[in-house]
Amino acid sequence: NQGPVTVLGLGMMGAALANAFVQNGNPTTVWNRSAGKADALVAQGAVLAADVRQAIEASPVVVACVSTYEVLNDLLAGAATELKGKVVVNLTSGTPEDARALAVWAEQNGVRYLDGAIMAVPQMIGLPQALIFYAGAQELFAEHEDLLKPLAGTNVYLGTDTGVPMIYDLGLLSLLWSSLAGYFHAVSLVNSAGVSAEAFTPFALTWIEHVITPAIPQSAQEIDSANFETEVSSLGVNKAAIEHLVATSRQLGINSDFSAAIQALIERRVAQGHAGHSLASLVEAFKQG
């Protein structure tokens, strides 16, 4: 689908999105607060609009990617008249509530709204490994799926609740940050014994492959069936082990906040009588707030 499209916001991500449309042959109109960021795109054939209203008028579909919802809400509110009847595909990151509130505003203003969460860095846009989650009216997504294809190899529709893409996004970021933080903590420990990060890393990768990766689908099964019986590694055993981790970190002068937070979750579940249950039962500790 090489239909016309407008891109609002030409930061690192917005420029990559606009470039993907231009390379695909879509007539692409762009707008950015700092107009100079459009130069390279204009040289490739994009049209720079003088202001947001003109940009919106140029195409039936407006893809928005600015820094925050606060910024986007102001931009859209200033062009409510021009937006009537248009489709807004918002790829700005925020909270699920930000996305739901904007969907309500769109509905009230006669704007058809899709919310999306980009699980990629700008360099990945347009490549098969780029993933974008979408939500909004199903027929709206079906109608525009082809138009959005140049942006990512995988486009996943998650339903009508426009808060859900950000929930997936935040969940995957939580996984990213906590797993990398675990690695950084591990490296701090081995560094204290004079072992380099590179010398330790093959063991980290093997551990991820043979222990952590299989534990995820196993945990999913336990969580969905609410059956946390285990003969492998109970919370009781982990409680003792994490005490050693926290104590050793403190003794070495290594920050132990991250492991102490996990320790607190384990201790809470053990205190609630779940010492014999698996690590997956920590999901209940998260849900308890």
Interacting residues toward ligand NDP by CB under 6 A: 9-14, 32-34, 37, 65-67, 71, 92-93, 118, 121-122
- CB nearer to ligand NDP: give 6 or 92: 92
DSSP symbol at 229: B
DSSP 40-108: HHHHTT-EE-SSHHHHHHT-SEEEE--S-HHHHHHHHHTTHHHHTT-EEEE-----HHHHHHHHHHHHH
Q: How far is the CB of 244 from ligand NDP (least distance, A)?
A: 37
CA 171 to chain centre: 7
Which tokens is 47 given? 């049209």
In the complex, minimum distance from the CB of residue 10 to ligand NDP, in angstroms, rounded to a whole number: 5
CB of residue 11 to ligand NDP, shortest distance in Å: 2
Beta bridge partners of 114: 89, 136
CB of 74 to ligand NDP, least distance (A): 7
Between 51 and 209, name the residue whose CB sits nearer to ligand NDP.
51
In this complex, which beta carbon is closest to ligand NDP, that of residue 95 or of residue 248? Answer: 95
Closer Cβ to ligand NDP, 92 or 256, answer by number: 92
Using CB atoms within 10 A of its CB, is residue 229 exposed (0-12), middle (13-18) or buried (19+)? Answer: exposed
CB of 12 to ligand NDP, least distance (A): 4
Those residues whose C-beta lies under 8 Å from the C-beta of residue 211, and which sit 6 or more positions away, are none
Closest to ligand NDP by CB, 158 vs 242, is 158
